[in-house]
């Protein structure tokens, strides 16, 4: 099978709208359903050196199924802090966060860890690949962690590597891959266990514009084929047009 080279041209606005309404429904219908993420008046402060830093100052947000939502804003505005909380890596000082109706703000470590392994995929800037494992083995690892039956691994790993256009690089270890290729392995790894929600912190930050466009095309394709919901942060104005919704954060609050 030839390798796919995803490109931004693959995702015209019309295709984008079709992919949002993948399950025979239009986007407005999807928006009226229960959100995948519901964030209500979230605040987060950190104590450092006996001083409290108020980082998030009352965030309200809804992210609906099969949407691509982007958080933009200056460095230090609080995007990563919020993303960590959306994935249950951290909890708010006050306020509520629901993931498919389940209260993340008030769940214990154990249940949040289980939820993360099964229902959430993460793509963070430092690609989080295991350096001694091949691309194939890295993707396989997330299936193992999510307790996916071993009999399903081969087909799923092959599918995910094909989706990011890396079938021919399956045996390469991270140091034998370019930055963009490593990022695409990280994407394959993050979606392998079929998460309902994918969280990505600056997934295109280390990439040139062509490669960044390819990653966004992969995201759009994943929404259409895997019914995943994506929430990501970015500094890159050139990719914002691919989003269904953009929220701008300034000093711990949304201004749009
Ligand atoms: N664990 C922590 N302890 C103390 N301060 C923190 C902690 N985590 C984040 N901060 C502070 O919160 C502010 C927001 O950080 P955050 O990483 O969320 O910003 P960001 O918008 O994602 O920035 P960037 O675009 O540079 O990644 C920063 O001033 C940071 O120093």
The reported pLDDT for the residue numbered 117 is 82
Do the domain assignments include residue 58?
yes
d(C-alpha 35, C-alpha 93), whole Å: 22
Question: What range does the domain containing 72 cover?
Answer: 8-254
The reported pLDDT for the residue numbered 211 is 79
The reported pLDDT for the residue numbered 125 is 64
- Of ligand 1's atoms, which has the minimum distance to the CA of residue 55? 12
Do the domain assignments include residue 35?
yes
Check pLDDT > 50 for residue 199: yes
Strands 37-48 and 51-63: antiparallel
Do the domain assignments include residue 230?
yes
User: Would you say the CB of residue 204 lies under 6 angstroms from ligand 1?
Assistant: no
Check pLDDT > 80 for residue 222: yes
Minimum CA distance residue for ligand 1 atom 24: 75
- Number of structural domains (the chain) is 1
Check pLDDT > 90 for residue 169: yes
The reported pLDDT for the residue numbered 185 is 93
Residue from 114, 99, 104, 94 nearest 41 by CA: 94
Strands 245-250 and 229-234: unpaired
Domain containing residue 73: CATH number: 3.40.50.300
Residue from 125, 118, 206, 192 nearest 161 by CA: 192
Do the domain assignments include residue 186?
yes
Lowest mean pLDDT among 20-24, 137-141, 238-242: 20-24
Do the domain assignments include residue 28?
yes
CB proximity list for 195: less than 8 A, separation 6 or greater: 118, 119, 120, 121, 228
Mean model confidence pLDDT for the chain: 85
Do the domain assignments include residue 204?
yes
- Of ligand 1's atoms, which has the minimum distance to the CA of residue 252? 14
Residue 127 — pLDDT band, cuts 50, 70, 90? low
Residue from 164, 168, 161, 200 nearest 6 by CA: 164
Do the domain assignments include residue 1?
no
User: Would you say the CB of residue 55 lies under 6 angstroms from ligand 1?
Assistant: yes
Decide: residue 88, CB within 10 A, 0-12 exposed, 13-18 middle, 19+ buried: buried
Q: Which carries the bigger pLDDT value, residue 136 or residue 145?
A: 136
d(C-alpha 30, C-alpha 244), whole Å: 12
Alpha helix (H) ranges present in the chain? 13-20, 27-32, 79-86, 109-119, 135-145, 153-163, 179-191, 209-226
ipTM of the complex: 0.97
Do the domain assignments include residue 3?
no
């Amino acid at each position: 099978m030839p390798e796919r080279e995803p490109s931004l041209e693959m995702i015209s606005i019309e295709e984008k709208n079709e992919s949002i309404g993948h399950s025979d429904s239009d986007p407005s219908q999807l928006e009226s359903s229960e959100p995948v993420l519901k964030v209500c008046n979230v605040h987060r402060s950190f104590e450092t050196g006996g001083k409290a830093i108020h980082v998030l100052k009352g965030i309200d947000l809804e992210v609906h199924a099969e949407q691509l939502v982007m958080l933009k804003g200056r460095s230090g505005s609080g995007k990563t802090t919020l993303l960590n909380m959306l994935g249950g890596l951290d909890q708010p000082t006050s306020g509520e966060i629901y993931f498919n109706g389940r209260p993340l703000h008030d769940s214990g470590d154990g249940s949040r860890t289980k939820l993360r392994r099964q229902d959430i995929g993460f793509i963070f800037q430092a690609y989080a690949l295991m350096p001694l494992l091949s691309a194939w083995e890295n993707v396989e690892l997330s299936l193992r962690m999510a307790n996916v039956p071993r009999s399903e691994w081969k087909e799923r790993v092959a599918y995910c590597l094909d989706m990011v256009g890396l079938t021919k690089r399956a045996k390469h270890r991270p140091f034998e891959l370019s930055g963009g290729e490593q990022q695409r392995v990280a994407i394959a790894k993050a979606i392998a266990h079929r998460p309902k929600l994918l969280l990505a912190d600056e997934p295109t930050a280390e990439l040139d514009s062509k490669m960044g466009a390819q990653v966004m095309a992969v995201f759009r394709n994943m929404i259409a084929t895997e019914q995943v919901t994506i929430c990501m942060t970015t500094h890159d104005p050139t990719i914002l047009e691919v989003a269904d919704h953009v929220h701008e954060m300034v000093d711990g609050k949304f201004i749009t």
